[in-house]
Each structure stands twice: as structure tokens, then as C-alpha cells.
Chains A and B, each alone.
Chain A
Amino acid sequence: MEKRFVYADNAATTKVSKEVLDAMYPYFTEEYGNASSIYGLGRNSKKAIEASREKVAKAIGAEPSEIYFTSCGSESDNWAIRGTCQRLKAKGKNHIITSVFEHHAILHTCQALEKEGYEVTYLPVSPLGFVNPDDVKNAIREDTAIVSIMYSNNEIGTIQPIAEIGAVCREKGVIFHTDAVQAVGNVEIDVKAQNIDLLSLSGHKIHAQKGIGAIYVRKGLALPNLIFGGAQERSKRAGTENVPAIVGLGTAIEIATADIKSKNEKVTAMRNRLIDGILQLPRTRLNGDREKRLAGNCNISIEGVEGESLLLMLDMNGICASSGSACTSGSLDPSHVLLALGLKHEVAHGSLRLSISAETTDEDIDYILEVVPNIVNRLRDMSPLWEHIIKGESFN
């Protein structure tokens, strides 16, 4: 098969779609006014922001007044946790509940708060990649300020029992935050029905640009500022509004949530073909539950090969993917998500995440399924670890 370019790393970021870019364009060239200005040019920007706010709210079942634009998902996460902790400090609440496999925007915020005297409970996840709502219930204490559990995991795509966790938190009167950066546009979200108090989302995972995010803050809930300054976002989040990016996010989220069901049917079929095809290789395993996962997520451990080598070879063949190996994480340990599932280090080092989107084609899947086995066989041929594995030898 002829070499082609296949982007299979949509969980990392996505291409800005033409519709999104077209919607943004006038706000660079014609409608460049500052939304705080009194004249028409400024008012047009303000109107565009409010129209976008309505779209974001609608996408998750919220009111427009419950949406604040931020610079990214990480900012939303930081704001949700820090703001809530700060507000409840006076009430003596200094305990946080989260899970071991959250995104680093949550984990590192929690670790920073531990240094400031907060206590954090990191709930385990099941081997298939789920947080148990009963664990949440049992971990809640008198002094618990917030529970933060991601909607769906960024590496293995497992979709958490958010409604159940939301119900537990509401019953116990504890604030519930969810990092829904990977879920928005891929899963039906209803913040009211699911008892979500705070939700983080990001634009660049759903074909908007990088550098735009939003947070949903349930009506009546006070969230102290993270960023101080001007009166933008009803004085809750200072900084001149990034109007084109906000318009882009509104457009992108409207498109992404327009028909999640039929989009997912198409993407899931391609994803399943990918999973089944790669699992035909010996000594491979799917990471995370097969059914309750994001439609586009395929995460497979391939024994005897190391993730970075795999990615470099895929790249040479035009395929963009990602891995949970230590070498690609920039640290010396493999992915904390895969280790949380109970995978051994050497199995986690050989993980491959392919995340496809509605733009992926059947031909792309055919191509991946042709290239991956060739590369795996080539790497295994030169791998002393593979030699040990097939001989059934023990190794360090």
C-alpha cells in the first residue's frame, strides 16, 4: 500500500475544522473590537462572545450564565480545585478526593495543595479503568471540600460513572468537579441530570484552536477568582477576551454535539476494526474496557517493543500516534494511567494509543493495520526482551 499521512492522535489535539476557521476569520480581520468597548465594533465582539456562551451551555445542558471562558482545560481544572478549596477553607474543609489516573492538570494541582496543607485521597481504579462510586462515597469525610473525577480518561478513553458519582456527592453535600476535556463532543453530557457542579472543557480536542477552554460553574456556586484584573467574564476571569477563539469554541462544540450518536457509530466501527486488527498480533492486550470507552480511543500494549521506537517508526511511515512509555512521557516512569490499571512497567512501556476522529477514513484504518504489524515484527526481531518472552525466560 502506498505511504500516506494518517493523523491518529486526536486525543492529543485536533485539526481546526474549516467551519470553525471560517467562523473565526471575521473576528481577526473585520470584527476586531475589544468586547469591553462601548462602540459598535466592541459590541459586536461582545455579542459574538455571548452567542458562543449559549452554544457551549447548550452542549452540556447548562445555562449561559454558568459558563466562563478560560485559556485552556488546565486553567479550568486549576480554577475549579483551587477556587473551591479556597472558598471552603474557612469552613475547615481541607480534604480533596480525586483518582490516581487523572490528568496532570488535576494531579499536580492536588500535589501543590498537599504542600499547602491539604490532604488528598487518590482513589484507585479497576483493572478495566473505572473509579467505583462506592469508593467515592466511602472516602467522603466531614472536611471534604471537593471530589474531582475525570469524565473520560485521556489515555485509555474509559468513561466514568459520572451520574452515579454526581449523585453520591450531591447526597453528601460535597462539590463535584469533572474534567471533561476528552469527553465533550464525544459523550452526551447533561450537567443537571448528572449533578455536576463544576466541569472543565477545552477547544482543541474538538476541532477548535489551542488556547481556549471553558468552565461550567453551577448557578449559586461561588468560585473565587484564579485570575484577577479587569471586569471580563462578569469579573470572574480577567483578561481581554480572545474573541476569535471563543467564537471558534462555540462553533466547534455546536458541531461536535450536533449528532454524537451517529458520529460515534461510524467512529466506533473503525475503532473496533483497529482494536481487532492489532490484537491479532501475539502478546498484545487492550487497555481499558472495550465498551465503555470513547469511540475514537484504541490503547493497546504490545509486549517486547518499546513505545518510543514504535512511534518513531510509525512516524517514518506517516502515522501520528502516542504512547505511555517512559521515553515519551519525558520522565523515567511509564504512564501513571497504565500503571494504575496494574500493568507491569515493561508492558506499559510498549503501549500504543491511536485516537481517531470522524475525519478518519476506512483507508486510514487499512493502512494502519498494514503498517503496525510490520513495525512490531521488525522491532521484536531486534528485541532481546521479546527473545526472553517467547522463550518463556524470566527477565529483570
Chain B
Amino acid sequence: MNNNETLSQKERHFPWKHVVGFLTSIVLTLVALWIAFFSAFSVRTIVILIFSLAFVQAGLQLLMFMHMAESGSGRIQVGHILFSAFVAIIIALGSYWVMEFGIHLDHHM
């Protein structure tokens, strides 16, 4: 009951949050596009920049559109996402770092 009331109260306001999220997403995408096609950075820099922008945008969308932090269990949701991100990063980067010595072995090339 309580939740419904607060929701309908919020709907009466102009959805600034969505507009800001939408515009920021567009800007971030355009910046990424510009970096990829028109900038003079090295490939390595481009990849790093695009990936960072992608992660920023993913976080933004989770907050602005998916209402991650808003419901009653908002803090728990954010905690879960952060924990999952932590595990995913450990698995991907950790494996790469640990296995690096194997990747450059000659038989692999």
C-alpha cells in the first residue's frame, strides 16, 4: 500500500531522472562513437576508453532506469550488484593475470 502511494506521488512530478539518464546515455554513446571512429588515439587507448564508458553507462542505466537503489530493498540490491561485479572482475582479470605466463608459450602461437 505504502509503496503504491509513494510511486503515484512520484509520477506526478516531471521525470527528471529519466530525462537526465537518457541524455547522459546519448552523450556517452556519442563520445564513445567519436573516440572509435574519429580520434587519433592508439588502438589500446581506444579499447580502454570505450570499455570504461560502457561500464559508466551500464551503472547509470541500472540507477536511472532499473530503479536499482529505489525500492525498500535498494541497499541490498546495490550490494548484490557490487558483489557480483567484484566476483566477475576477479574471475576475468584474475584468470588473465594468473594465466598470463601460459598464454605466451610458444606452442600456443
A and B associate in one complex: no
Listed in ascending order, the chain B residues whose CB lies under 8 Å from chain A are none
